[in-house]
Amino acid sequence: MVAPPQARRRRLWLSVTVAVTVLAAGGFIAFRLARSVPAPKIVQTAPQTYAIPGVPPVLPWPQAGQAAVEVDGLGRLGTSGDARPVPIASVAKVMTAYLVLRDHPLRVDEDGPTLTVSAEEAAAYPSQLASDQSLVRVIAGEVLTERQALQALLLPSANNIAHILARWDAGSSDAFVTKMNQAAAQLGMTDTRYTDPSGLAPSTVSTAADQVTLARVAMRLPVLAQIVAMPQATLPVVGQVRNVNTMLGKDGVVGIKTGSTDEAGGCLLFAAEISAEGQRFWLIGAVFAPGPSMADAFAASSRLIQAGSGLLHKYRVVRAGEVVATARGPMGRKTTLAATGDVDVLGWPGLTYRIDTLATVPGHVGAGTGVGTLKLTASAAAVTTSLQTTAALAPLSWWERFARG
């Protein structure tokens, strides 16, 4: 018996509805199962920072003037004085040398391009000498290599060579001074203003803190560090010149620049090598006008270096096996991350290290699997140890993949 058309239509629609429903349900299930499982979220359980315990050191700061000291790569030990910009005399030549080497890089075994003393620059020498400036004798047509010019600038502290280098680099002293101030701004030396490339002008001013910032960057230029550590050098016309920094070789001093005028008093920007736990560091400092003479600056700097050289000690922050983070996956799954080794830092009471967990944990991982690094950072110094899981993370079952929200 043939069903009436109306019944056939009802059966057809029912069949279509069932098919569509099955397909939709299948698609929904497939969609739920195909969704990517988010990676476990890392939550650091260790503190975000570690401050070395104890009373911060107090250095034997000079009673007059201003000073600043830091351990390169670790941080600043402190400052003294009112930190207002003051004349810095020939310490300004550090920026001059830094810019020349930035614009005309040299290798440590290279003399570099040459520059020729002009007739005008040579003719200015007698009047400059009469004004009791720090100079080296030059003659018209004298040819200096870049290295020799930098030696003349930094060892006997020749004001005339500062202007000759400025003209060679930028076309004129005024143009070079513009570059000096631009570089100071780029380095964050907000209390510094240069008005001449030699520092003779009392209007060239800075702070001890700003000049320590410059010294840190300048000493990373191998040629500059090499030259300021030289006790003497030989130049074409004047012959042998000596480094006026008489602290070289004392208290580990390896540079970098003296300065002295009536307005500035005695000034010293220094770098001294210190060691701790088999590692070597630069203790970088500036002492401005602790007294009227260079002897005052040398004495104040010596006291600071001797006190600062014994401040670095080792401190244990994390022990091997210590849990420092948790990895939280979907459906309540989790494991913890533990340091695989001890973490020791160098420093002094009050120095703060930042602690970062740098890890990526897959959704399915076994116990004892390496997943990243724990990193402790202070300034440019970093100490790390590997991290591993303390327990396994099993993959989600098909039902969990379907049922999760």
Which residues have C-beta within 8 Å of that of residue 87, sequence separation ≥ 6? 199, 202, 203, 204, 205, 261, 263, 264
For residue 184, the SS3 value is: helix
Residue 13 exposure: Cα atoms within 13 Å on the Cβ side? 6
Q: Are 105 and 112 in contact (CB under 8 A)?
A: no
The active-site residue, picked from 36, 41, 80, 93, is: 93
Please identify which of the residues 90, 134, 260, 301 carries the catalytic annotation.
Answer: 90
Active-site residue identified among 157, 260, 301, 309: 157
CB 45 within 8 A of CB 259: no
Counting beta carbons within 10 angstroms of the beta carbon of residue 23, is it exposed (0 to 12), middle (13 to 18) or buried (19 or more)?
exposed
Asked about 375 being catalytic, the answer comes back as no
What dihedral do alpha carbons 187, 188, 194, 199 form, nearest 10°?
A: -70
130 CB burial (10 A radius; 0-12, 13-18, 19+): exposed
Could you tell me if 387 and 91 are in contact, meaning their C-beta atoms sit under 8 angstroms apart?
no
Active-site annotation holds for 173: no
Task: Report CA dihedral (288, 291, 297, 301) to the nearest 10 degrees.
Answer: -80
Q: What are phi and psi of 241, to 5 degrees?
A: -125, 150
Residues classed as catalytic:
90, 93, 157
